[in-house]
Structure 1
Amino acid sequence: MPATVVAARRLNRAAGTLAASVLADSSVEHYRGSFKNKAMYTPLLVSALTLGVSAHGTGDARPVAHRVRDASYLLAAATGLMGTGFHIYNVSKRVGGISWQNLFYGAPLGAPMAILLAGLLGFCSERVRESRPGQRPEIFDLPAGRTMAAVVAAGLLGTTGEAGLLHFRGAYHNPFMLLPVTLPPAGAALLASAALRGPGRDHNLTRWWLRLLAAMGFAGVGLHAYGVSRNMGGWRNWRQNLLDGPPLPAPPSFAGLALGGLAALGLMKDRSDA
């Protein structure tokens, strides 16, 4: 199988992981908001569509882009941009406007960016997949591997900012709450360095660090589940504590980005011109 198809399928898997996280997280958060605005159904529908086309792409071994997947990923990216605008409006219209109180308890500003990143990774996967044999894999005339590494690095920093804000609200009462604000920035720096240095280099440290981030993302679900259990009533009062406790679906967004970074490094390793 061509290296470009392998990388594309890995990117589809990363996009699907992010989409699954968004689907579960937005379902809980928007249910808590009683779907007051009918537009709140949009991220559920779009993330479900993105998850479906990502699963299709993960199983597709053909070296050609798929129009439905392409359109779905672009829709996901547009939804993320519009959702960010809606969330900024939600926070700014509250009494006090943009303030710590409203940033803590209003619509999370960084949450919609996860579906935007899923769309970007998926769109990149289709560009890599359609690369012609013998030609350098490119995204907008830029080397695909290095471009994806830069995109994932930026995504890690943004996701860290969102986690840092909410964990600051929780006063970092558990030392494990420091992990998502310390490990991802280091991973972003390593990926940025890989993007600048290019292929043909030893990126073993970056690769292992991304694997650590992926493990952290999935392990975070367990830590958040423990956080839910510490609320009054624990899991016996799950209907309330799932809504008010730490969000279970949020941490896997780090895993999705880490998988995207690993796909970029894999392509850079397999293709010296990527």
Structure 2
Amino acid sequence: MIAGGTALLAAAVLADSALEHYRGSFRNPFMVAPLAAASAALATSIRRVIGRKTTSGRTEYMAAMLTGAAGLGFHLWNVVKRLGGFNWSNVFYGAPLGAPAALLLGGLLGETSAALELSGGQPGPMSVASGRPLGLIVAVGLAGTVGEAGVLHFRGAYHNPFMWAPVSLPPLAALSLARDAIEGEARPQTRYLLAATAALGIAGVGFHIYGVHRNMGGWYNWRQNILAGPPIPAPPAFTGLALAGLAALMLLERGRG
């Protein structure tokens, strides 16, 4: 399940980066790097999901983490170099900080999955197999994804009431999961919140598809409108993280059992 969550997150990053960097005409050669790193992480995660043997995949995941960290630096520089430096306007309209952070997070989740496989699943107080580190990673990832959604939806003035959903439900799931990870106990309400967050990610794709349709020309003008947004690949990040969170709960339950 961790590999499945990683695959979804990597796919979301790959598609989103491809669209955004295509819109930027790949003017910086390094803009190709996240596509390569996300593709490698996605391919490795898919092999894990279908049960195919892999050497470990840690090289691909480490590459995703390093590329994400470097991309975060590039995007931060793109924001602060603008007139006024680091301010709300530049955060709204500069390079998105959440995108490379999601790639870094995807690599970290994949690395956790590989470490769990290598550990043989032997639980300990704070081992990977205990589920506690994974739970904390996912909780932080959900919080970051909520922040990115909050910035973009604030920029859209929350014109649709459903735009409040990704900044209302996932924070509750993140807080509940963090509490469970710290206390080492999986609670039913956390599972419900994570399942709802996973469903929210899928529903978000539909809302964003409709949002593209509402632009001038609709899907007849898809070449322009798909770049104008809203970003269709973004919401599945919630689904991928929620799946990884559910895996963390399973590990917590096994550790207590």
TM-score, normalised by the number of residues in structure 2:
0.95
Rounded Cα–Cα distance in structure 1 between residues aligned with 2:246 and 2:13: 21
- Does 2:240 align with 1:265? no
Q: CA deviation at 1:70?
A: 0.7
Rounded Cα–Cα distance in structure 1 between residues aligned with 2:213 and 2:128: 47
Rounded Cα–Cα distance in structure 1 between residues aligned with 2:204 and 2:69: 26
Match of 1:136 in 2: 123
1:1-274 paired onto structure 2 within 5 Å? 10-60=1-51, 66-67=55-56, 69-132=57-120, 135-136=122-123, 141=127, 144-199=130-185, 201=186, 203-272=187-256
Structure 1 residues 188 and 37, CA, compared in 2 at 3 Å: closer, same or farther?
same
Rounded Cα–Cα distance in structure 2 between residues aligned with 1:110 and 1:130: 30
The letter for the 1-side match of 2:23 is: R
Rounded Cα–Cα distance in structure 2 between residues aligned with 1:177 and 1:250: 13
Match of 1:4 in 2: none
Rounded Cα–Cα distance in structure 2 between residues aligned with 1:173 and 1:103: 20
Q: CA deviation at 1:152?
A: 0.3
The letter for the 2-side match of 1:186 is: L
Q: What is the aligned-residue RMSD (CA, Å)? A: 1.7
* Unaligned residue ranges in structure 1 (runs of 5+): 1-9
Structure 1 moving runs of 4+ over 3 Å: 141-144
SS in 2 for 1:205: helix
The letter for the 2-side match of 1:19 is: A
The answer to whether the Cα contact below 8 Å between 1:191 and 1:206 also exists between their aligned partners in 2 is yes
The answer to whether the Cα contact below 8 Å between 1:207 and 1:262 also exists between their aligned partners in 2 is yes
SS in 2 for 1:112: helix
Rounded Cα–Cα distance in structure 1 between residues aligned with 2:25 and 2:128: 44
Identity of aligned residues (%): 52
The letter for the 1-side match of 2:192 is: W
The answer to whether the Cα contact below 8 Å between 1:131 and 1:138 also exists between their aligned partners in 2 is no
The answer to whether the Cα contact below 8 Å between 1:148 and 1:261 also exists between their aligned partners in 2 is yes
The answer to whether the Cα contact below 8 Å between 1:22 and 1:47 also exists between their aligned partners in 2 is yes
TM-score, normalised by the number of residues in structure 1:
0.89
Match of 1:7 in 2: none
Q: CA deviation at 1:143?
A: 5.8
After superposition, the C-alpha distances for 1:131-171 in whole angstroms (9 at most, x for unaligned) are 246x32587x5664011011100000011001000100000
The answer to whether the Cα contact below 8 Å between 1:127 and 1:138 also exists between their aligned partners in 2 is no
The answer to whether the Cα contact below 8 Å between 2:112 and 2:128 also exists between their aligned partners in 1 is no
The letter for the 1-side match of 2:141 is: G
Rounded Cα–Cα distance in structure 2 between residues aligned with 1:118 and 1:11: 10
SS in 1 for 2:98: coil
SS in 1 for 2:256: coil
The letter for the 2-side match of 1:29 is: E
The answer to whether the Cα contact below 8 Å between 1:131 and 1:137 also exists between their aligned partners in 2 is no
Rounded Cα–Cα distance in structure 1 between residues aligned with 2:71 and 2:248: 27
Rounded Cα–Cα distance in structure 1 between residues aligned with 2:136 and 2:197: 16
The letter for the 1-side match of 2:55 is: H
Structure 1 residues 272 and 244, CA, compared in 2 at 3 Å: closer, same or farther?
same
Rounded Cα–Cα distance in structure 2 between residues aligned with 1:148 and 1:19: 17
